Amino acid sequence: MSDIKPVDAGIFILRLTLGIIIAAHGLQKVLGLWGGPGIEGFSGFVKSLGFQPPVVWAWIVGLSETVGGALLVLGVLPRLSAFFIGSVMAVAIFKVHWNGLFMANNGFEYPLLILACCVAVIFTGAGKISLFDKL
Residue range 38-47: average pLDDT?
96
Q: Evaluate if residue 2 carries a pLDDT over 70.
A: no
Q: How high is the mean pLDDT of the chain? A: 93
Closest of 106, 96, 110, 112 to residue 49, by C-alpha:
96
Instruction: Tell me the domain boundaries of the chain.
Output: 6-124
- Supply the pLDDT for residue 135: 47
Predicted pLDDT of residue 134: 53
pTM: 0.91
Residue 1 pLDDT: 52
Residues in the chain: 135
pLDDT at 7 over 80: yes
> What whole-number distance in Å separates Cα of residue 125 and Cα of residue 120?
8
Average of per-residue pLDDT across 54-70: 97
133 pLDDT above the threshold of 90: no
The Cα–Cα gap between 49 and 96 comes to 8
Residue range 1-28: average pLDDT?
92
